[in-house]
């Protein structure tokens, strides 16, 4: 297939590379010319604008930082895309933005899906992302072969915007677990208990989680190279809080976690991994 890809960053770049490996023709655009050159070096085609990346594509994928960038790019995809184009936005953005994009797309005869991902840079490189898809069932089926080149878990979770709502739920759970693991480390250390031994036990019991499995050692060693940056998690907690407001529900723990992530950012840790929530809990106790 001819695939137009807009947003060749930490995630988009390896995803585009996996589409090339799967035998697709990928025409990519990013505001960073360096990113576009990288794609060309892998055998893709470099475009000098969104319009150039979209023209002639059977499928367009966007992997952009946040809602404002999708609001800027999506109208161009919709206007310059072929009739019946399949447009898959894989960025993590507000559910309401995805719903609005889907409505605008439908009015122009473009089939739009929101398909945010979980699994980080590693998952993007290995093609093992978990993909949560919102949109019409027949469009999800049409996208399946492409999404299967990018991930190992792909679930149709509901209509337009539902993928983003599931991603917001994912991010509030991840943030909450990081916060509690950080509190466990602070408690163990303050009580004179070896945190490595303590967390090994937690990881094997009911408190066990992927975060404890993958991150407990680096957290105890205070290694916070990203990974997933605090800045992006701050954006995602904002999306979760806004989604809760829109749904008319109270999520008190989500509110607390959002404030802890905001504190991490305010303390200058925005470019560190989100496990650096530990620094905030430590600071509360120092
Ligand atoms: P990134 O900042 O590395 O990449 C975004 C890319 O979009 C950049 O290269 C930027 O130059 C480009 N861009 C910005 N505005 C543009 C525009 N108007 N036109 C064309 N290109 C534009 O971010 P990322 O880590 O790749 O994340 C992308 C999305 O995926 C975010 O929504 C993020 O929350 C989500 N996500 C990231 C991870 C992760 O571990 N990094 C994991 C899951 C989901």
Q: Is 167 a catalytic residue?
A: yes
- Active-site residue (options: 21, 45, 94, 167): 167
User: 62 CA to middle of ligand 1, Å?
Assistant: 9
* Least confident stretch, 46-50, 120-124, 190-194, 270-274: 120-124
Farthest-apart Cα atoms in the chain, separation: 66
Are residues 152 and 173 both part of a single domain?
no
pLDDT at 227: 82
133 and 19 in a common domain: yes
How far separated are the first and last CA of the chain, in Å rounded? 57
Q: Give the ligand 1 atom nearest the CA of 11.
A: 26
What is the whole-number distance in angstroms between the Cα of residue 67 and the centre of ligand 1?
11
- Whether residue 62 is found in the same domain as residue 150: yes
Same domain, 128 and 203: no
Task: Give the mean pLDDT of 234-254.
Answer: 97
User: Quick one: which atom of ligand 1 is closest to the CA of 73?
Assistant: 18
Q: Distance from the CA of 142 to the center of ligand 1, in angstroms? A: 24
For residue 120, is pLDDT > 90? no
Positive or negative CA dihedral for 27, 32, 38, 41?
positive
Inter-residue contact 139 to 123 (CB < 8 Å): no
Return the ligand 1 atom nearest residue 120 CA.
40
CA-nearest residue, atom 18 of ligand 1 = 69
Question: Pocket around ligand 1: residues whose beta carbon is below 6 Å from it?
Answer: 6-12, 29-32, 35, 63-65, 69, 72-73, 91-92, 117-118, 120-121, 228, 232
Question: Could you tell me if 28 and 153 lie in one domain?
Answer: yes
Q: Give 6's pLDDT tier (boundaries 50, 70, 90).
A: very high
Rounded mean pLDDT of 247-264? 98
* Number of domains into which the chain is organized: 2
Residues 190 and 153 in one domain: no
Strands (E) in 160-213, as ranges, are none
Q: Provide the b/e sequence for 62-88 (b: ≥16 CB within 10 Å).
A: bbbbbbebbeebbebbbebbbeebbbb
Tokens of 74: 């999506």
Domain boundary at 121, 141, 159, which?
Answer: 159
CATH number at residue 174: 1.10.1040.10
- Could you give the CA distance from residue 175 to residue 261 in angstroms, rounded to a whole number? 8
Is the whole model's pTM more than 0.85, yes or no?
yes
- CATH label of the domain that carries residue 91: 3.40.50.720
199 and 151 part of one domain: no
Ligand 1 atom closest to the CA of 66, numbered from 1: 32
Q: What is the DSSP string of 66-134?
A: SHHHHHHHHHHHHHHSPTT-EEEE-S---HHHHHHHHHHHHHTT-EEEE--EESHHHHHHHT-EEEEEE
> Residue of the nearest CA to atom 20 in ligand 1?
30
What pLDDT does 48 receive? Answer: 97
DSSP 229: B
Domain of 148, in residue numbers = 2-159
Whose Cα sits closest to atom 7 in ligand 1?
7
Answer for the pair 127, 134: CB distance below 8 angstroms, yes or no. Answer: no
Q: pLDDT tens digit string along 188-231?
A: 999 999 999 999 999 999 999 999 999 999 999 999 998 899 99
Q: What is the pLDDT of residues 125-151, one digit of tens each?
A: 999 999 999 999 999 999 999 999 999
Q: Is residue 10 classed as helix, strand or coil in its secondary structure?
A: coil
Task: Kindly give the distance from the C-alpha atom of residue 119 to the centroid of ligand 1, in angstroms, as a whole number.
Answer: 14
pLDDT at 39: 97
Q: Tell me the CA–centroid distance for residue 15 and ligand 1, in Å.
A: 12
In this prediction, residues 111-120 reach a mean pLDDT of 96
Looking at 134, 159, 184, which one is the last position of a domain? 159
Ligand 1: which of 8, 30, 65, 169 to mutate, most ligand atoms within 8 Å of CB?
65
- Identify the pLDDT of residue 44: 98
What's the CA-to-centroid distance between 13 and ligand 1, angstroms? Answer: 9
Same domain, 187 and 250: yes
Q: In the listed set 159, 181, 205, which residue is the last one of a domain according to the structure?
A: 159
């Amino acid at each position: 297939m001819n695939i137009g890809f807009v947003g060749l960053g930490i995630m988009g770049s390896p995803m585009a590379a996996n589409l090339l490996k799967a035998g697709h023709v990928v025409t990519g655009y990013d505001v960073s010319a360096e990113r576009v050159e990288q794609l060309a070096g892998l055998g893709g085609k470099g475009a000098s604008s969104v319009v150039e990346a979209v023209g002639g594509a059977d499928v367009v994928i966007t992997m952009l930082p946040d809602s404002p960038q999708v609001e800027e790019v999506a109208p161009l995809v919709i206007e310059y895309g072929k009739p019946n184009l399949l447009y898959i936005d894989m960025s993590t953005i507000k559910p309401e933005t995805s719903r609005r994009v889907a409505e605008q797309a439908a009015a122009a005869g473009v089939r739009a899906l929101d398909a945010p991902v979980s699994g980080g840079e590693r998952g993007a490189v290995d093609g093992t992302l978990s993909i949560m898809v919102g949109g019409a069932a027949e469009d999800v089926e049409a996208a399946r072969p492409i999404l299967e080149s990018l991930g190992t878990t792909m679930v149709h979770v509901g209509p337009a915007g539902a993928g983003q709502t599931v991603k917001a739920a994912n991010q509030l759970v991840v943030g909450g677990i990081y916060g509690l693991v950080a509190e466990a480390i602070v408690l163990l250390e303050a009580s004179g208990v070896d945190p490595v031994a303590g967390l090994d036990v937690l990881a094997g019991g009911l408190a066990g989680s992927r975060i404890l499995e993958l991150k407990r050692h680096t957290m105890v060693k205070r290694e916070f190279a990203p990974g997933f940056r605090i800045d992006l998690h701050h954006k995602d907690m904002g999306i979760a809080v806004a989604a809760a407001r829109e749904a008319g529900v109270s999520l008190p723990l989500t509110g607390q976690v959002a404030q802890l992530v905001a504190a991490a950012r305010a303390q200058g840790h925005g470019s560190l991994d989100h496990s650096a929530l530990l620094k905030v809990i430590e600071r509360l106790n120092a």
